[in-house]
Amino acid sequence: MALQYKIIPVTPFQQNCSLIWCDVTNQAALVDPGGDPQRIEEALSQTGVQLAAIWLTHGHLDHVGASSAIATQYKVDIIGPGKQDQFWLDGLAQQSQMFGFDTIESFTPTRYLAHGDTLSLGQLTFKVVHVPGHTPGHMAIFNQQANIAWVGDVLFCGSIGRTDFPQSDHQALIHSIRHQLWPLGDDVTFVPGHGPNGTFANERKNNPFVADQLFS
């Protein structure tokens, strides 16, 4: 049993939309389909998987923009983010205008995520971790079998998420990284919302914002 995934960069922000699937059952989920639905549909067609759900880490436009269109077309549920991010989803039309995107209408997910929830995909199980700071309802999604975490815009290679948005909190972000992500394990590979994958061990050693030496 193995987890497979493919990263599909979407929107002018090159957001890492991920297509994840269980190679035993062929069931798939999309993490953060932020835009470019046609490109996402092509990836679904090429891989030949069966889309079962959409999972959202947080409510920013470049992470959720294609969710409604794809959910409607494939008749799947939108799961996540945390309820605390509904104000971002309610404001999608304004976000679209601000960033020059085609207008995206607001929506409410089929269900919200909360810390400690589990998500299933075929024979795979994922743990949901609440990691506020970038947004108040931000969630990370962790698969222990493959040792991979989808962390949205909380952590990047050599950087951290922005905290200059409404209801962002820099101290909460640092706390989320150090007390919610690091305990998952040094050898965890993380898929960020933008840019290349990394490992928690490398960020603990080298990230100028959250390296262990800054807090010793």
Domain ranges of the chain: 3-215
Tokens of 67: 């969710």
Residue type, 174: I
* Furthest C-alpha separation in the chain: 51
User: Would you state the pLDDT for residue 100?
Assistant: 86
User: Would you state the pLDDT for residue 141?
Assistant: 99
d(CA 31, CA 43): 13
174 Cβ neighbours under 8 A, 6+ residues apart = 133, 160, 209, 210
User: Would you state the pLDDT for residue 55?
Assistant: 99
Q: Which CATH architecture has domain 3-215?
A: 4-Layer Sandwich (3.60)
User: Would you state the pLDDT for residue 102?
Assistant: 87
* Structure letter (DSSP) for residue 180: I
d(CA 62, CA 38): 15
d(CA 212, CA 106): 40
Mark the ranges of the chain whose per-residue pLDDT is less than 70.
Answer: 1
User: Would you state the pLDDT for residue 1?
Assistant: 64
